[in-house]
């Protein structure tokens, strides 16, 4: 088979997650071994295109990276080629410039014929100017939040759940020893997949997700009943984007230079304070934060990332451009690259895992 392209670029955009290196490895080795395609690694996501920071990737360069977390190429969740921060004006507000043409010029000078974009909806949205300029793209869906529309699973999610579950398991012992309520905050801005899965896997007594605004009174009543029944400790797993009824998400800071300036964090500590005031039971909060983004991918994510990377190269080699690799009903397939843009795959309130959790007595704060 004569491949449709001879040289491609690959980048990792958005936040890091376990499995990125596994995708890079699969892309590079499949390209070289199966199709004789050259691969150029683009550093730090779209920032590398703006600044022309790229390097050739050989099979040797990606040997041994399957088990390593993060990305050997680096990444950035702040660079949008159409809106690059270039300093501040006299009022202290950030200034932005469109560097799309500069990126396209760098692509053409490197003789890159197509791009493999490994990232989330923001990374896929960023492909539009390149597609319009005639640079084909294939996307690989990445997010620990598992909230991309069009795919049932994203690599990195299962490792994040495993890491969060392990942390909550460890907190169980101190909760039991001190008869405390332990509140564990995990990532999940608008979709509660991590909190739901880690909460169920760890046997958390309370699971709070963005899809269900919680009532403090319901949570406190539930914990108080547990205590009266002789269960002198409770574990609550809460997503960072969870909100009390009639309340708002807790914002930790705002970065005006970022395309997505809102940074959430702190809802766990707030809930812990509220519970302690409400039922006078000692309560502690732990925010796992970026801990669940890092570390080596578990076996399932290594396999999924390898399958995704291989599929991306198959699509490019046969000239099936502007597609996004996806998993649907257990099978690897592909969809339009823009299908995920501006959408989020949230937890359906009637999904079987929620039904199962409720059946074993889990409180969702409603």
Whether the full predicted model's pTM is greater than 0.85, yes or no, is yes
List all residues 6 or more positions away from 278 whose beta carbon is below 8 Å from its beta carbon. Answer: 216, 217, 220
pLDDT given at position 323: 96
The first and second tokens of residue 140, run together, are: 């690989």
Which range has the worst mean pLDDT, 34-38, 48-52, 197-201, 338-342?
Answer: 338-342
Residue with tokens 């009174």: 217
Q: What is the mean pLDDT of the chain?
A: 94
User: DSSP class of residue 295?
Assistant: S
Do 209 and 109 share a structural domain?
Answer: no
The first and second tokens of residue 150, run together, are: 């069009």
Q: Is residue 59 part of a domain?
A: yes
Mean per-residue pLDDT, 161-176: 95
pLDDT given at position 339: 87
Q: CA-CA distance, 171 to 81, in Å (whole number)?
A: 43
Is the pLDDT at 86 greater than 90? The verdict is: no
pLDDT-derived band of residue 215, with 50, 70 and 90 as boundaries? very high
pLDDT-derived band of residue 89, with 50, 70 and 90 as boundaries? confident
Catalytic residue, chosen from 145, 205, 301, 334, is 145
The first and second tokens of residue 80, run together, are: 């949008």
pLDDT given at position 340: 86
List all residues 6 or more positions away from 311 whose beta carbon is below 8 Å from its beta carbon. Answer: 325, 332, 334
Do 301 and 210 share a structural domain?
Answer: no
The first and second tokens of residue 40, run together, are: 């150029």
pLDDT-derived band of residue 39, with 50, 70 and 90 as boundaries? very high
Q: Is residue 351 part of a domain?
A: no
Do 138 and 167 share a structural domain?
Answer: no
pLDDT given at position 66: 97
Q: CA-CA distance, 24 to 72, in Å (whole number)?
A: 9
Q: Is 39 in contact with 56 (CB distance < 8 Å)?
A: yes
- Is 145 labeled as catalytic in the residue annotation? yes
pLDDT given at position 218: 96
List all residues 6 or more positions away from 170 whose beta carbon is below 8 Å from its beta carbon. Answer: none
Is the pLDDT at 203 greater than 90? The verdict is: yes
Do 172 and 144 share a structural domain?
Answer: no
Do 194 and 239 share a structural domain?
Answer: yes
Any idea what the CATH number is for the domain that residue 190 is in? 3.40.50.460
Angle between helices 157-178 and 299-317 (to 10 degrees): 160
pLDDT-derived band of residue 337, with 50, 70 and 90 as boundaries? very high
Name the residue range of residue 312's domain: 7-155+297-336
Q: CA-CA distance, 252 to 265, in Å (whole number)?
A: 5
Mean per-residue pLDDT, 113-131: 92
Any idea what the CATH number is for the domain that residue 13 is in? 3.40.50.450
The first and second tokens of residue 131, run together, are: 């597609």
* % of the chain at pLDDT higher than 90: 81
Q: Supply the DSSP string of 221-248, one letter for each residue.
A: HHHHHHHHTT---EEEEEETT--BTT--
The structural domain count of the chain equals: 2
Q: Is 208 in contact with 238 (CB distance < 8 Å)?
A: yes
Q: Is 159 left (phi over 0), alpha (psi -120 to 50) or beta?
A: alpha
Q: Is 27 in contact with 72 (CB distance < 8 Å)?
A: no
The first and second tokens of residue 74, run together, are: 């680096």
Q: Is residue 110 part of a domain?
A: yes
Do 285 and 305 share a structural domain?
Answer: no
Is the pLDDT at 34 greater than 90? The verdict is: yes
The first and second tokens of residue 51, run together, are: 């600044």
Is the pLDDT at 259 greater than 80? The verdict is: no
Which range has the worst mean pLDDT, 18-22, 280-284, 301-305?
Answer: 280-284
Q: Is residue 148 part of a domain?
A: yes
Q: CA-CA distance, 67 to 73, in Å (whole number)?
A: 15
């Amino acid at each position: 088979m004569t491949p449709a392209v001879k040289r491609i670029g690959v980048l990792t955009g958005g936040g890091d997650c376990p499995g990125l290196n596994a995708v890079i490895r699969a892309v590079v080795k499949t390209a070289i071994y199966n199709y004789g395609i050259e691969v150029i690694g683009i550093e730090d996501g779209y920032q590398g295109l703006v600044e022309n920071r790229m390097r050739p990737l050989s099979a040797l360069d990606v040997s041994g990276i399957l088990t390593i977390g993060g990305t050997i190429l680096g990444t950035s969740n702040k660079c949008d080629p159409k809106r690059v921060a270039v300093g501040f004006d006299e009022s202290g507000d950030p200034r932005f410039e469109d560097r799309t043409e500069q990126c396209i010029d760098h692509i053409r000078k490197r003789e890159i014929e197509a791009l493999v974009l490994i990232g989330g909806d923001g990374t896929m949205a960023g492909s539009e100017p390149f597609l319009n300029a005639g640079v084909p793209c294939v996307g690989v869906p990445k997010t620990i939040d598992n909230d991309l529309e069009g795919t049932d699973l994203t690599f990195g999610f299962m490792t994040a759940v495993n890491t969060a579950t392990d942390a909550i398991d460890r907190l169980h012992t101190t909760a039991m020893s001190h008869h405390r309520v332990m509140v564990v905050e995990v990532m999940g801005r608008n979709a509660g997949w991590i909190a739901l899965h880690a909460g169920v896997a760890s046997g958390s007594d309370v699971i709070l997700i963005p899809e269900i605004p919680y009532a403090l009174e319901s949570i406190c009543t539930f914990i108080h009943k547990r205590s009266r029944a002789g269960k002198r400790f409770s574990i609550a797993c809460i997503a960072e984007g969870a909100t009390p009824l009639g309340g708002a998400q807790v914002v930790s800071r705002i970065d005006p230079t970022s395309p997505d300036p809102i940074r959430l964090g702190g809802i766990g500590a707030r809930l812990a304070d509220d519970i302690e005031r409400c039922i006078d039971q000692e309560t502690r909060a732990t925010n796992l934060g970026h801990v669940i983004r890092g570390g080596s991918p578990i076996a399932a994510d290594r396999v999924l990332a390898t399958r995704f990377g291989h599929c991306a190269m198959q699509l490019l080699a046969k000239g099936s451009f502007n597609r996004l690799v996806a998993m649907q009903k257990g099978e690897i397939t592909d969809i339009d690259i823009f299908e995920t843009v501006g959408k989020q795959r949230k937890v359906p309130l009637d999904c079987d895992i929620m039904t199962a959790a409720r059946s074993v007595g889990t409180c969702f704060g409603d």
